[in-house]
């Protein structure tokens, strides 16, 4: 199953052009949802205004080389390894989910556009990556959902409490889960179940990419920009108009350090 391209088998009953068109439609939904959200929530306006304030408050002018170095380091360390979460289970779950999702999406596009259709060869490598990506997404996502969510531990809410902000992670998990189930049942010739899981897989994708405006999907674009702006502000001295850290010894005992952090 892991070396089999599920889209290639599906191409026996559905045109590859329809699959490619579906991917293009999902990209359009992402772009439209993100733009509408930026306009209505004025996220872009906030970032531009914040950047202007930081420029006026800067105490040091950064050269192109310094800016490039900071952006590269932020991309590799802060964004690529989600270092803001520190070391621990939460960070590992996010890394698993993030790279699993990237693998899942990229390999889906490669399989549909490059290895699905008449006279197209099978790619065991990309098929394997597609399944691995879905599995990693499930591992990171379910670990986060059932054991690591902040509101569950800190606010004593049950794991099944669902709010609008959960749309992204739940739709993403549904995509990976139903995708794996569809691949398995299709490979084993279970036509009825295969059609059911394919339908659920398509609906989950529509919810994920069509719900960008209402979910945290667009945060994937905002957070890298915010991280880069924060590190640039640290380097040029503007510090987002915040005071520098106090260089003074601790005078008030252990405080919150009496208990090891376990909620966040």
Domain that holds residue 52: 6-237
Whether residue 164 lies inside any domain: the answer is yes
Whether residue 46 lies inside any domain: the answer is yes
Q: Alpha-carbon distance 222 to 47, whole Å?
A: 9
Whether residue 181 lies inside any domain: the answer is yes
Look up residue 171 and give its two tokens.
């739709």
Give residue 108's pLDDT.
Answer: 92
Q: Alpha-carbon distance 3 to 245, whole Å?
A: 54
Give residue 259's pLDDT.
Answer: 63
Q: How many helices (H) and strands (E) does the chain have?
A: 10, 0
Residue 127 belongs to domain with CATH number:
1.20.950
Q: What is the mean pLDDT of residues 74-83?
A: 73
Whether residue 263 lies inside any domain: the answer is no
Sign of CA pseudo-dihedral 136, 212, 91, 93: negative
Residue 41 C-alpha from the chain's centroid: 20
Whether residue 71 lies inside any domain: the answer is yes
Q: Alpha-carbon distance 229 to 46, whole Å?
A: 12
**Of all residues in the chain, what percent carry a pLDDT higher than 90?**
17
Burial of residue 178, with CB atoms counted within 10 A of its CB: 0-12 exposed, 13-18 middle, 19 or more buried: buried
Q: Alpha-carbon distance 161 to 149, whole Å?
A: 11
Whether residue 226 lies inside any domain: the answer is yes
- Closest by alpha carbon to 134, among 19, 23, 6? 6
Q: How do residues 212-261 score in pLDDT, each as one tens digit?
A: 877 777 777 677 777 777 777 777 666 666 666 666 555 555 665 666 65
Q: Alpha-carbon distance 18 to 135, whole Å?
A: 26
- Closest by alpha carbon to 177, among 198, 154, 157, 192? 198
3-state secondary structure of 58: coil
CA dihedral 199→127→99→76, nearest 10 degrees, is -140
- Asked if pLDDT for residue 204 goes beyond 90, the answer is yes
67-98 core/surface letters (b: 16 or more CB in 10 A; e: else): eeebeeebeeebbeebeeeeeeebbbbbbbbb
Q: How do residues 13-51 score in pLDDT, each as one tens digit?
A: 888 889 999 999 999 988 888 888 777 777 667 677 776
How many domains are contained in the chain?
Answer: 1
Give residue 134's pLDDT.
Answer: 92
- pTM for this model (two decimals): 0.77
Whether residue 249 lies inside any domain: the answer is no
SS3 annotation, 49-86: HHHHHHHHHCCCCCCHHHHHHHHHHHHHHHHCCCHHHC
Q: What is the mean pLDDT of residues 105-115?
A: 91
Residue 97 C-alpha from the chain's centroid: 7
C-alpha distances (whole Å) from 140 to each of 4, 105, 172 are 24, 16, 11
Q: Alpha-carbon distance 50 to 226, whole Å?
A: 10
Whether residue 253 lies inside any domain: the answer is no
């Amino acid at each position: 199953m892991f070396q089999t391209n599920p889209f290639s088998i599906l191409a026996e009953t559905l045109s590859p052009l329809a699959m490619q068109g579906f991917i293009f439609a999902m990209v359009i939904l992402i772009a439209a949802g993100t733009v509408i959200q930026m306009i209505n929530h004025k996220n872009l306006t906030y970032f531009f205004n914040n950047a202007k304030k930081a420029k006026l408050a800067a105490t040091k002018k950064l050269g192109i080389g310094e800016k490039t170095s900071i952006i590269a380091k932020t991309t590799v360390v802060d964004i690529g390894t989600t270092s803001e979460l520190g070391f621990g289970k939460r960070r590992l779950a996010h890394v698993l989910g993030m790279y699993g999702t990237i693998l899942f999406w990229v390999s889906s596009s490669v399989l549909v556009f490059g290895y699905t259709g008449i006279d197209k060869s099978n790619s065991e490598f990309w098929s394997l990556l597609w399944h691995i990506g879905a599995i990693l997404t499930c591992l990171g996502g379910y670990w986060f959902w059932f054991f690591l969510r902040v509101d569950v531990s800190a606010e004593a809410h049950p794991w099944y409490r669902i709010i609008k902000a959960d749309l992204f992670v739940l739709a993403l998990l549904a995509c990976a889960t139903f995708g794996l189930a569809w691949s398995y049942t299709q490979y084993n010739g279970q036509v009825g179940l295969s059609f059911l899981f394919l339908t659920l897989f398509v609906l989950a994708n529509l919810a994920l990419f069509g719900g960008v405006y209402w979910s945290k999907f667009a945060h994937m674009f905002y957070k890298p920009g915010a991280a880069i702006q924060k590190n640039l502000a640290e380097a040029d001295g503007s510090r987002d108009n915040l005071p520098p850290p106090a260089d003074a010894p601790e005078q008030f005992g252990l405080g919150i350090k009496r208990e090891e952090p376990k909620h966040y």
